Chain A
Amino acid sequence: MLMVNVAGATVIALIVWWFWLYKAGEVGRDNTGLVIVVANGTFKPSRIKLNANQATELHFLRKDASPCAEMLLFPDLDISESLPLNKPRTIRLPPLTKGEYQFHCQMKMYRGVLKVE
């Protein structure tokens, strides 16, 4: 029984680490031509490094038919776009100051972040 409890506690610790503490690697680009695929409940890539003070174009390609994947929001930038299915949609971002900018679907189940440096 002790083993089972220890195993349970370990799984809980792993959940906390994997979903909250772990920082995933970032994809860096020169602010152009980055294609972000929206499929199976995720943005790929979801952590994107950008250069500050430079306009950016992100191309979102939605492959997920679920209505959850339809809306794309950048709340800090006041951008909301509906993504057509299987057709790239270009999002133009103004030059940004340093910081983190989140983007997500309407319900925040699909999530990503821009790290502007």
Chain B
Amino acid sequence: MNESTGHGHQHHTMKAPDNSLAAIAVPSQQELMIEGAGCASCVTKIETALKAVPGVTSAQMNFAQRTVTVTGSVERQALIKAVESAGYNAKTIEADTHAEALEEREKAEWDYYKRLLLEMSIALLLGVPLMLYGIAGGSMAVSTDAERIAWLIVGLLTLGIMVFSGKHFYVGAWQSFRHHTANMNTLIALGTGTAWLYSMVVVLAPGIVPEMARHVYFEATAMIIGLINLGLALELKARGRTSQAIKRLIGLQAKTARVIRDDKEVDIAIEQVLLNDRVRARPGEQIPVDGIVVHGHTAIDESMLTGESMPVEKGEGATVAAGTLNKTGSIVFRATRVGKDTALAQIINLVKRAQNSKPPIGRLADVISGYFVPVVMIIAIISALMWLNFGPDPAVALAMVSATTVLIIACPCALGLATPMSVMVGVGKAAEAGVLIRNGEALQMASKITTMILDKTGTITLGSPRVTDIFMAGSGGEERALQLAASLESGSEHPLALALVESARARGLAPLQVTNFNAIAGHGVEGEADGKKLLFGNEKLMRDRGIACGSLVERAQLLAADAKTPMYFAVDNVISALIAVADPIKEDSVAAIKRLQRNGIRVVMLTGDNHATARAVATKVGITDFFAEVLPQQKTDKVVALQAQGEIVGMTGDGINDAPALAMAHVGFAIGTGTDVAIESADITLMRGSLHGLADAIAVSKATLRNIKQNFFGAFIYNMAGVPIAAGVLYPFFGLLLSPVVAGAAMALSSVTVVMNANRLRLFKALEH
């Protein structure tokens, strides 16, 4: 008798994620690439032509890049035509820019990597033998003329290394010095420069240095330059892995599209696809642009964008999103968003921006890194002075070594990299699970949420009522009753009517011709079909017409207590059936809510529905805190009230009604099946309807914050311990003074360690699904 489960479930996988991908706001700015513009005077011509297009508010051409930016809501085709009529060619550029930029970047990075390795090898080629010579007991001292000449040659070779392998440190240090700033280059240039200059003085004018201090440190200069270049190369490699998620998204963009023009199918470059083009997607092909299916039926794998592993059935009228994979059938769709406007392109932009934004926890590091380098320089001078004043002989050499070591071991990079690297991986990881985090602040806040408010309709439930139960009064067929009732309701616009019509259609029941249709306001509808008098409505309607409902009344009460809306159906003034309509709870809402509660989060439900329905739904999903009959404007008040209790409030919703509450909450979560408005005001967007996305988002943000803290701890400890040891605080007690070479190795390792720790986040997995 009960037809709910199978149907409801199927409908969920078919319909629910459908609008989610189309739900990202359309920007009003477009960019076009202009071809054939040879002179600066073309600029005015093109701009004037574009401004003449209705809907354009501004057009600005960048002559250097041959691009034009147009603001206003206007179709791209009209813009291209306008440019063409002015005598130039225009094409869209955005579609491929991500992929091209990525390729270019990878090539540049690869070149830089090879360059670093070469510089490292050359530097170590001199540094390693020199160091081994020293370790093996070779004399680094300068006492005889022969030694002076030998060391002079080594000194000049070291200078060669400084120029070839270390030029970027010295030029960078000088440039930033001129700009009154200091950075890593400053420290390296000063450290290695000091060691080399000191050694050269020993070689060229040994007279001014005490005899005991006539020692050269060329190996330190060469080794430090080599090791730090090695560190930079390793860091570059490890950094590459942190942006894997965005690379994967960019890789989803198709290069070509098969469009139907003049009844012929042609393959064209993706950037040439225009709005309203009809595009063919064959099985196994990637959907190239966003669109609406006009012909055919297929299943589409949207997991790459939504994290939802079940393929989604799509027929005529369904939306398809660029980057998703067409699995089974061949379809033709009409392009509705191309280039930069596709959901995929916007997701990429959102993720990219978020990856580069900083959570508040990173601000302290920013403040510190502003002062860090000059402070280290001052510490180096103070430590040198201490050695000169109070140190044992050879004080000059020891002062020089300690100052150099302090400069080299201090690592502003580890501190600076701590936050951005983890955010990069964390935001990417979330995107993989279909969770779009707007910025670092949202990421950090999400990890602290203590109370999660869930809107009922469309968030906990599917948001569209459907027929859940049919009980027959007599022996008549269920399908026949549904067919008649649906036929009668097909003239009505009530949401419950829609549920009936949908249900009949899904069962393949054709609507019948209805005559004498009459809507009885607040009660139901009546009409005639197939020669029968039909009446559909609530209990009161049946009573008014003197129709006895018998045992169905009890059934109806049970259904009402179960958050369903029961309706009676009578044929020729005899009760025929009881049909219940409800907004079903999403299949995984219960598990997802349990998961949140297990993490110690208080879950609260808000709804505009009546108490009985609210209570029934809340009980079913295991929520004890709920507020019913909440008007849209009161949702914000509820958020504020909970915040006043000291709670960190997350608000999850899908509708326009929820937008102010989403904005008011500490973290607003928009369910991906929602409207543009909700997503615009949300901090975190769940690309699939499932509430598991909430727990995933919180889990990812907690893991990311933990990772950032580990990085900070490592970087702070490293600098706090490294700098004093390098300055020689342990010397009076243990006779321990670090060698500049060890400092160079430690510095090279410190930032690599931070990046590698951030990379560990890639292994993070949200717990359950």
Contacts and interface: CB of A to CB of B under 8 A. Distances in A.
A108 B176 contact: no
Contacts of B111: 65
A70 B109 CA distance: 11
B655 interface: no
Given A65-B112, A80-B353, A90 B176 contact: no
Interface string A84-117: 1100101010000000000000111111000000
Interface in A31-68: 39-44, 46, 59, 65-67
Given A65-B112, A108-B416, A4 B181 contact: no
A1 B358 CA distance: 48
B152 interface: no
Interface stretch (B3-11, B46-54, B383-391, B510-518): B383-391
Contacts of B172: 40-42
A24 B179 contact: yes
Given A41-B172, A88-B65, A90-B62, A1 B417 contact: no
A15 B377 contact: yes
A88 B389 contact: no
Contact of A8 (B175, B384, B439): B384
Contacts of B388: 1, 4-5
Contact of B357 (A24, A80, A108): A80
Contacts of A39: 175
Interface in B74-115: 101, 104-105, 108-109, 111-112, 115
B101 A82 contact: yes
Contact of B378 (A15, A46, A66, A78): A15
Given A67-B239, A80-B353, A75 B358 contact: yes
Nearest to B370: A108
Contacts of A8: 381-382, 384-385
Given A4-B388, A12-B381, A85-B104, A20 B112 contact: no
B413 interface: yes
B366 A108 contact: yes
Contacts of A70: 105
A75 B413 CA distance: 20
A40 B171 contact: yes
Contacts of A109: 181, 183-184, 369, 412, 416
A91 B377 CA distance: 35
B182 interface: yes
Contacts of B177: 18
B40 interface: no
Contacts of B108: 65, 85
A73 B356 contact: yes
B565 interface: no
Nearest to A65: B112
Contacts of A41: 172-173, 175-176, 181, 183, 185
Contact of A24 (B180, B373, B381): B180
Contacts of A11: 381
A88 B178 CA distance: 24
Contacts of A106: 356, 416, 420
Contacts of A59: 64
Interface in A6-29: 8, 11-12, 15-16, 18-20, 22, 24
A69 B483 CA distance: 67
Given A19-B182, A65-B112, A107-B416, A40 B176 contact: yes
Contacts of B369: 107-109
Contacts of A1: 388-389
B417 A107 contact: yes
B159 to A, nearest CB: 20
B168 interface: yes
Nearest to B388: A4
A67 B281 CA distance: 39
A15 B377 CA distance: 8
**3 nearest A-B pairs in the assembled complex, by CB-CB distance:** A107-B416, A80-B356, A40-B175
18 contacts: A5-B385, A5-B389, A8-B381, A15-B378, A18-B177, A40-B174, A40-B176, A42-B176, A42-B178, A42-B181, A44-B179, A65-B115, A66-B112, A67-B239, A70-B105, A106-B420, A107-B369, A110-B183
Interface of B: 62, 64-65, 69, 101, 104-105, 108-109, 111-112, 115, 168, 171-185, 232, 235-236, 239, 352-353, 356-358, 366, 369-371, 373-374, 377-378, 381-382, 384-385, 388-389, 412-413, 416-417, 420, 439
Interface of A: 1, 4-5, 8, 11-12, 15-16, 18-20, 22, 24, 39-44, 46, 59, 65-67, 70-71, 73, 75, 78, 80, 82, 84-85, 88, 90, 92, 106-111
Given A42-B178, A65-B115, 7 more contacts: A4-B385, A40-B174, A46-B179, A78-B439, A88-B64, A108-B369, A111-B181
